Structure 1
Amino acid sequence: MMLDSIDEGPLVYPTVIGEDRHTRPKKYSELTEEQQLQDDYDVQATNIILHGLPPDMYVLVNHQEAAKDIWDRGETLYEYYWRFYQLINDMHTIGMTMQQVQVNTKFLNALLPE
């Protein structure tokens, strides 16, 4: 469901006619269980992406509301690789080591399927 959030954008809240005869978006409590779950995953996907961004990139996307918008405004493959490379260097600096196959797998698993 998180990947759906990124690929398709966030849940669009359905509308209802309120007591004042005006159309309004449903409240979270009025959503179906599946819609609430999707909304929760939308928030989680957005938070995961935001926490993985460096501060200079965060400034570019902090006003975006949807994970898809954030992802679309995100890094190029080179920028992602460079950030990943710096993280691995930082890990080596503090004495953490990983087998090369683990590093490669983590890098590849974090990429988009495209």
Structure 2
Amino acid sequence: MGTVRETLAESIEGTPQYGQERPRAYSDLTSDEKDRYNAYIRATNILLQRLPKDIYTLINHYTDAKDIWDNVKMLLEGSKLTKEDQESQLYDDFEHFQQHKGESIHDYYIRFAKLINDMRNINMKMSRLQLNSKFVNNMLPEWGRFVTAVKLNRGLRDSNYEQLYVYLKQHDTHAKENKMMLERFSQPIVDPLALLSNVSNPQHYSPSSSASSSTQVPQPRADSNSPIKDLIENLTNTLALLTQSYRTFLR
């Protein structure tokens, strides 16, 4: 509003004498100036009240309307760039989204729901089929047969991923059983005959043995570890029983 000097008195020559300069108060304004000032205040308040909170905190110390507007434009343009970066990041997160090893279906669903919510907050659009396909096709192998049942019985066009989660959650116990079976089958398989060959002594046959004598079975080393000894003994007994059964069958 500028400054003003009050008139203290007039000199003998008729010229006014002024006091010290001071800032102009509202009462010093003319009627037109008061109207302009009131409109300025209203415009500033409207502008500030409509700003996002994070932007308002950055410009609320400005008092000049032009400074406020210039900084708002700059910050909003920056927010637009940030939105593009967020959109790119969310697309990448959606593209690579999958259930982590050992992650429960509940935690998997919560992560997926949060991702979709973040996408919706910046108006990213995905079809229902895209969302449902991403949710069920990136689950761990133990959920495979239940996912197939979902696709056949419920379909991916008419349901939403929340409904698919509720359906799949009912089979959580069976999925855990499938997981244990898959882990058991994925363990390295040791060939017992190869192990027997590695740890046993060479076979020895007596030249004087008759044709009707039983086949000699190799004996384990005396210094073998206990599990290996047990395995060899079990294999030896099994082979002996099979041989005896085979000979009985031939008779």
Partner of residue 47 from structure 1, selected from 45, 48, 55: 45
Paired position in structure 1 for 2:71: 73
CA contact (8 A) 2:62 2:68 kept: yes
Map 1:13-92 onto structure 2 (within 5 A). Answer: 13-17=2-6, 21-75=19-73, 76-77=76-77, 79=79
What is the SS of the residue equivalent to 1:53?
coil
- Give the Cα separation in 2 of the matches to 1:40 and 1:16: 23
- Give the Cα separation in 2 of the matches to 1:78 and 1:26: 38
CA contact (8 A) 2:3 2:21 kept: no
Identity in percent? 35
Higher RCO (CA-CA < 8 Å; seq separation 6+)? 1
TM-score (norm 1): 0.52
1:78, distance to aligned residue in structure 2 (A): 7.2
Paired position in structure 2 for 1:104: none
CA distance 1:14–1:34, shift in 2 (3 Å): farther
When Rg is computed on C-alpha atoms for both structures, the one with the higher figure is: 2
- Give the Cα separation in 2 of the matches to 1:60 and 1:78: 13
After the TM superposition, list the runs of 4 or more consecutive aligned residues in structure 1 that deviate by more than 3 angstroms: 17-20, 75-80
- Give the Cα separation in 2 of the matches to 1:62 and 1:78: 18
- Give the Cα separation in 2 of the matches to 1:61 and 1:18: 39
1:13, distance to aligned residue in structure 2 (A): 3.0
Paired position in structure 2 for 1:102: none
CA contact (8 A) 1:18 1:24 kept: no
Give unmatched runs, 5+ long, in structure 2: 9-17, 84-119, 124-251
* RMSD of equivalent CA atoms: 3.1
Q: Deviations over 1:54-75 (max 9, x none)?
A: 0100111111112211111113
Paired residue total: 75
CA distance 1:55–1:18, shift in 2 (3 Å): farther
One-letter amino acid matched to 1:30: D
One-letter amino acid matched to 2:57: V
What is the SS of the residue equivalent to 1:22?
strand
1:52, distance to aligned residue in structure 2 (A): 1.0
TM-score (norm 2): 0.26
Give unmatched runs, 5+ long, in structure 1: 1-11, 90-114
